[in-house]
């Protein structure tokens, strides 16, 4: 399978935080041919272990399997679903979206609805509808029918978006945050056939709700070095100032210098920059991001773990569809491989 095909499968799968099962089974399948062992820990993290030389450093790669989404909160007497949010979702992007409710009986299509604009009062039309004023219509006549269709409180709800290719080497789809990190990690492990380091390729759970899976996985592994593969905001679009979001699509992976939860260990940053320059891989440096990644938690494991982040510039993160360049993914993989190969000599 090509990188784009792996990304397509991962992107189309449902994996709302805490309900990563579909992504988890894909990750196990995709990692298996390239590692010595695939484990699942108690929280649901997938850990692919590729053994290196004896006493060689242990490297933990982390890419989160979960995505933002919604959960069934209540069902009204009339059969409409009210929902809770999981992860950072901007209320403004919810209205009129097509969604899928994942029930035990199978997936159900639905639409996020609201009172039609025609009958809204002037001041109602100006205001942003918050998620608790919206509802999902699955075409049920009443509460009883909704129940018969299989809907239960707590069922995950995802955006109904399918992967597609546009432009030159550009792809769009759901949950690239962080399925593209997962796809890059799989491909990197595949190319690290003869690595000296022992590699732990971890698909983490519950990143979007507080970096939870990475916390327990890192405790168990206690690596010598940790690298999170994630996405970052590509700000090359109308209305965004350079100073607000300087990272651009098609210009290579972004290396975090510091974000809200991590100051990249200087040795790791040096390793990544040196690897990029030696191999002539384009890269961008980024600092001051308000969010964080799994690396923040990995770095605070036990007595501490030097960590860094390699991010793929992605447009429209945390909205139903996002967009990225496959050339940035390819360069992220190249850089991950080059850096890991350098670790035994330079770390
Ligand atoms: Zn992410």
Distances (CA, A) of 247 to 243, 252, 308: 10, 9, 17
pLDDT score of 102 more than 80: yes
Per-residue model confidence as pLDDT tens digits over 293-330: 999 999 999 999 999 999 999 999 888 999 999 999 99
* Stretch 35-51: mean pLDDT: 97
Per-residue model confidence as pLDDT tens digits over 73-99: 999 999 999 999 999 888 888 989 999
Band the pLDDT of 117: cuts 50, 70, 90: low
Does an H or E element contain 338, and which? helix 326-346
Task: Enumerate the active-site residues.
Answer: 207
Q: How far is the CA of 65 from the centre of ligand 1 (A)?
A: 9
Q: How far is the CA of 86 from the centre of ligand 1 (A)?
A: 13
Looking at residue 13, its pLDDT comes to 96
Q: How far is the CA of 228 from the centre of ligand 1 (A)?
A: 9
Q: What is the 3-state secondary structure (H, E, C) of 259-270?
A: ECCCECCHHHHH
- Mark 162-194 as b/e (b = at least 16 C-beta within 10 Å): ebeeeeeebbbbbbbbbbbbbbbbbbbbbbbee
Per-residue model confidence as pLDDT tens digits over 212-262: 999 999 999 999 999 999 999 999 999 998 888 899 999 999 999 999 999
Q: How far is the CA of 66 from the centre of ligand 1 (A)?
A: 8
Q: How far is the CA of 88 from the centre of ligand 1 (A)?
A: 11
Q: Given the DSSP bridges, would you call strands 37-40 and 46-50 parallel, antiparallel or unpaired?
A: antiparallel
Determine the length of the chain. 347
Q: Please identify which residue in the block is written with the tokens 């940035």.
A: 328
Nearest to 288 by CA among 318, 257, 267: 257
């Amino acid at each position: 399978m090509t990188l784009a095909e792996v990304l397509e499968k991962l992107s189309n799968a449902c994996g709302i935080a805490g309900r990563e099962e579909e992504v988890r089974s894909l990750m196990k399948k995709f990692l298996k041919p390239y590692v010595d062992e695939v484990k699942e820990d108690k929280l649901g993290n997938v850990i692919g272990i590729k053994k290196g030389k004896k006493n060689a450093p242990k490297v933990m790669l982390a890419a989160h399997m979960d995505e933002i989404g919604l959960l069934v909160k209540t069902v009204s007497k009339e059969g409409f679903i009210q929902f809770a949010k999981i992860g950072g979702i901007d209320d403004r992007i919810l209205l009129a979206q097509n969604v899928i409710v994942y029930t035990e009986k199978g997936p159900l299509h639905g639409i996020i609805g609201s009172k039609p604009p025609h009958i809204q009062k002037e001041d109602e039309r100006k205001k942003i509808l918050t998620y608790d004023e919206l509802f999902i219509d699955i075409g049920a006549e009443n509460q009883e029918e909704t129940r018969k269709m299989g809907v239960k409180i707590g069922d995950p709800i995802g955006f109904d978006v399918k992967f597609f290719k546009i432009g030159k080497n550009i792809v769009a789809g759901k949950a690239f945050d962080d399925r593209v990190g997962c796809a890059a990690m799989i491909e990197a492990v595949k190319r690290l056939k003869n690595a000296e380091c022992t590699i732990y390729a971890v698909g983490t759970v519950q990143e979007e709700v507080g970096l939870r899976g990475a916390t327990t996985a890192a405790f168990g592994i206690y690596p010598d070095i940790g690298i999170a593969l994630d996405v970052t905001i590509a700000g090359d679009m109308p209305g965004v100032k350079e100073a607000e979001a300087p990272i651009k699509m098609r210009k290579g992976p972004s290396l975090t210098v510091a974000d809200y939860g991590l100051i990249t260990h200087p040795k790791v940053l040096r390793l990544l920059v040196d690897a990029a320059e030696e191999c002539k891989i384009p890269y961008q440096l980024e600092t001051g991001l308000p969010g964080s990644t799994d690396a923040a938690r990995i770095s605070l494991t036990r007595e501490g773990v030097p960590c860094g982040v390699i991010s793929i510039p992605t447009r429209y993160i945390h909205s139903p569809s996002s967009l990225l360049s496959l050339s940035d993914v390819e360069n992220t993989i190249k850089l991950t491989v080059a850096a890991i190969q350098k670790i035994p000599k330079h770390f």
